[in-house]
């Protein structure tokens, strides 16, 4: 299961096409819209979220609420298009009110993209490299999430730090799978602890007053996975490789950890690797989960736990120094309408990317024609694993 997206931040809308989807999967537009609303939420978001209220429209691949085995097309309207129609029109003459973007922002794709594509207008770059593009990912991932839910897998995320404020967890790998998604969503910053939530809000307020932006970290968790998804045989098929690549495809993600991640480098082996045990009902298990549910590039049956770090958004109300592309003279970087902090939203986008990687791994392992056969294959596989552990 894969997707491709198209669309610009201030264009007519965003489009996603999801292909490799089995027939017979129930799809809910309302569930996709709920995820789109979560992507738009979070304390510290900017003015664009007041303009857009993202709603998906499914235009192919679904009939009477179920997939039919063909590519699924989804569209999201950009309501801000009416304010940009002449400046972002696909055809026609250049309008008089066109303002070229010639002061690239440090930390953004603006300058390098302009150099790569031989343009003197960063608007051509920033329209696509904008985080607005991630709305299409979240909509597309609604298909993957419906599939995972149908085979018993839950994917959620929560924020672990914003700026210098961090969630205190005695044993994050033990705590992560047990957090309640509802409690997370009730937090304005999607953090499961009330006291930490308040401190994060205060940090965002301080950054806003200073004209700054803040990054942070978040964790994605998947419960209910079978063991053996992915592969040890080839580098590109390792699930660690695929999930890592998916997360790094999100703008502003600068680091990814599986399980205890970099902490593993500071410990001796006996304090890192997870002892194996066996349970007659549940099969082979680990007494700890420092690996975060992945061993040798494959799921091991424990909860998948991945942590990612997001850098601060590069658009600053007190702009950094840059160079004017027309004059080559020093200038201040451009200011787009932007967020102070988008870590809670980035976590929702990360859920989407992880969901796609996991759904694709399931379809590779258990077939991809229709849900009836896929679920029968998973049931037989689980039964074999239980038999092997007795």
Q: What is the pLDDT of residues 203-212, one digit of tens each?
A: 999 999 999 9
Displacement of CA 108 from its chain's centroid (Å) = 19
Inform me whether the pLDDT recorded for 145 exceeds 90. yes
Can you state the percent helix, strand and coil of the chain, rounding each to 5?
Answer: 40, 20, 40
Name every residue whose Cβ is closer than 8 Å to that of residue 387 and which is 6 or more positions away in sequence.
none
Considering only CA atoms, which of 308, 316, 315 is closest in space to residue 349?
A: 308
49 band by pLDDT with thresholds 50, 70 and 90: low
DSSP labels, 232-269: SSSGGG-HHHHHHHHHHTSTTEEEEEETTGGGGGGS-G
Q: Between the CA atoms of 301, 262, 340 and 5, what dihedral angle is there, to the nearest 10 degrees? A: -50
Average pLDDT over residues 180-202: 95
Interval 287-331: pLDDT, tens: 999 999 999 999 999 999 999 999 999 888 888 999 999 999 999
Name every residue whose Cβ is closer than 8 Å to that of residue 349 and which is 6 or more positions away in sequence.
39, 134, 137, 138, 250
Inform me whether the pLDDT recorded for 48 exceeds 60. no
Inform me whether the pLDDT recorded for 20 exceeds 90. yes
Inform me whether the pLDDT recorded for 52 exceeds 80. no
Q: Is the pLDDT higher at 167 or at 80?
A: 167
Mean pLDDT lowest among 179-193, 277-291, 365-379 = 277-291
387 band by pLDDT with thresholds 50, 70 and 90: confident
Q: Which CATH code for domain 2-388?
A: 3.60.150.10
Name every residue whose Cβ is closer than 8 Å to that of residue 242 and which is 6 or more positions away in sequence.
230, 236, 357, 360, 361
pLDDT given for residue 53 in this prediction: 82
The domain locations on the chain are 2-388
90 band by pLDDT with thresholds 50, 70 and 90: very high
**pLDDT, the chain, mean:** 93
The CA-atom distances, in angstroms, between 29 and each of 10, 139, 160, 281 are 23, 9, 30, 37
The DSSP code for 105 is: P
CA dist 150 and 157 (Å) reads: 19
φ, ψ of residue 162 in degrees (nearest 5): -135, 120
The DSSP code for 84 is: T
* DSSP reduced 3-state for 8: coil
- Tell me the pTM: 0.93
Residue 16, judged by CB atoms within 10 A of its CB (0-12, 13-18, 19+), counts as buried
Q: Which DSSP helix (H) or strand (E) runs through 14? A: strand 13-19
How many residues comprise the chain? 390
């Amino acid at each position: 299961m894969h997707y491709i997206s198209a669309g610009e931040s201030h264009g007519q809308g965003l489009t996603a096409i999801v292909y490799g989807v089995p027939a017979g999967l129930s799809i809910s537009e309302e569930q996709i819209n709920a995820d789109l609303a979560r992507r738009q939420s979070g304390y510290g978001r900017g003015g664009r979220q007041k303009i857009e209220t993202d709603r998906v429209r499914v235009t192919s691949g679904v009939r009477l609420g179920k997939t039919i085995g063909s590519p699924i097309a989804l569209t999201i309207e950009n309501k801000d298009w009416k304010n940009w129609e002449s400046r972002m029109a696909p055809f026609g003459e250049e309008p008089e009110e066109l303002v070229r973007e010639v002061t690239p922002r440090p930390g953004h794709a603006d300058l390098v993209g302009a150099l790569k594509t031989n343009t003197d207008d960063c608007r051509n770059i920033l329209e696509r490299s904008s985080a607005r593009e991630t709305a299409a990912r979240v909509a597309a991932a609604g298909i993957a999430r419906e599939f995972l839910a149908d085979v018993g897998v839950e994917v959620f995320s929560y924020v672990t730090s914003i700026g210098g404020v961090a969630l205190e967890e005695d044993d994050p790998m033990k705590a992560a799978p047990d957090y309640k998604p509802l409690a997370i969503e009730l937090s304005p910053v999607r953090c499961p602890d009330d006291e930490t939530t308040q401190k994060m809000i205060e940090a965002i307020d301080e950054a806003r007053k200073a004209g700054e932006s803040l990054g942070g970290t978040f964790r994605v968790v998947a419960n209910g996975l079978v063991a053996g998804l992915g592969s040890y045989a080839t580098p590109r098929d390792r699930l660690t490789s695929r999930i890592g690549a998916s997360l790094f495809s999100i703008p502003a993600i600068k680091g990814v950890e599986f399980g205890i991640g970099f902490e593993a480098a500071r410990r001796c082996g006996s304090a890192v690797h997870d002892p194996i045990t066996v349970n007659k009902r549940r099969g082979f298990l680990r007494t700890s989960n420092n690996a975060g549910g992945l061993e040798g590039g494959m799921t091991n049956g424990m909860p998948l736990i991945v942590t990612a770090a997001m850098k601060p958004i590069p658009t600053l109300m007190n702009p950094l120094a840059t160079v004017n592309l027309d004059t080559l003279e020093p200038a201040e970087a451009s200011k787009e309408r932007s967020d102070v902090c988008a870590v809670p939203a980035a976590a929702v986008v990360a859920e989407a990317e992880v969901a796609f990687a996991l759904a694709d791994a399931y379809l590779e392992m258990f077939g991809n024609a229709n849900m009836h056969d896929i679920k029968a294959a998973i049931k037989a596989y689980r039964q074999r694993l239980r038999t092997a552990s007795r």
